[in-house]
Amino acid sequence: MFLIYEVCMAANNVHIEMFFDKDSSTFSYVVTDNSIKVAAIIDPVLNYDAAAGMISTTDADNILAYIAAKDLTVAWILETHAHADHLSAAHYLHIKTGAPVAIGEGIRKVQQTFKLVFNLNDDELLAKGDYFDKLFADNERFSIGSVTAQVINTPGHTNDSVSYLIAGNLFVGDSLFMPDSGTARCDFPGGDAHILYRSVQRIYQLPDDTRIFICHDYQPNGRELRYQTSVAEQKTQNIHVKADTPEQEFVQKREARDKTLTVPRLIYPSVQVNIRGGQLPKAEHNGVSYIKIPLKQA
């Protein structure tokens, strides 16, 4: 409880800037300690044209332009998990800023799972957290300038999902969406609706006025785009799990919903790059990187 109080006291020093990638409906954030102009980048997007096999850095360059305009020093590049719906620009931003790329230590399990899926050898992936500069433990604290941040493990959508609590602001990745969209799916390898339920309960134990910043918004019923909610709003309005929703009710609802969902459009390119911290697969002898797509027969 003291940590939450301590972090909230720094709230007036923190500025949050949102960046939106329309193609993947992804929000990225730059969180800045205004007192000394030190920032963290959260969940940056690498642009990818699947049909053309073309990578570009438009979204990441917009973030870099903002950082340059504000004369910020980047302390961290933070991933909430190895995303399945967009490629990460973390490595590109690491090269440009020198900031370390960090993720939850559960990434080891995700790497181990997808090392088998993509039939990768040890030269390509050891699955020991390689490609990341820092693996955060649950409840670990770190600093963005003078602001203390806390890592909260929130698995269930994936094994490596974490949320970052920064000055009374919680960046939840895919664990929660806006209340009218509910929660993340749990049918990916390593996903578990029971575990996600318990992760959400951890979030609901935070103060009601904790602001929640989500990673995606799919604008149900055509409503306007939203990226910010609160613990109080989630507890009273989330369509999948309110404060008083029993675990089994949520699990039944979540698993039924997951059975109706299609495979994400960019899951294989995304996961293949994101388990490497945003690095592309090693180039082959012709200097070209290739994405593997495992084929299945119906």
Q: Is the pLDDT of residue 5 over 60?
A: no
Q: Is the pLDDT of residue 1 over 80?
A: no
DSSP 152: E
Q: pLDDT tens, 146-198?
A: 999 999 999 999 999 999 999 999 999 999 999 999 999 999 989 999 999 99
Confidence label for 298 from pLDDT (cuts 50, 70 and 90): confident
Q: Please give the Cα distance from 83 to 75 (Å, whole number).
A: 22
pLDDT value of position 296? 86
Beta pairing, strands 101-104 & 134-136: parallel
Q: Please give the Cα distance from 244 to 161 (Å, whole number).
A: 23
Q: pLDDT tens, 194-243?
A: 999 999 999 999 999 999 999 999 899 999 999 999 999 999 999 999 99
Q: Please give the Cα distance from 208 to 177 (Å, whole number).
A: 17
Q: Is the pLDDT of residue 108 over 90?
A: yes
Q: pLDDT tens, 83-94?
A: 999 999 999 999
Which pair of structure tokens corresponds to residue 85? 């719906």
pLDDT value of position 12? 60
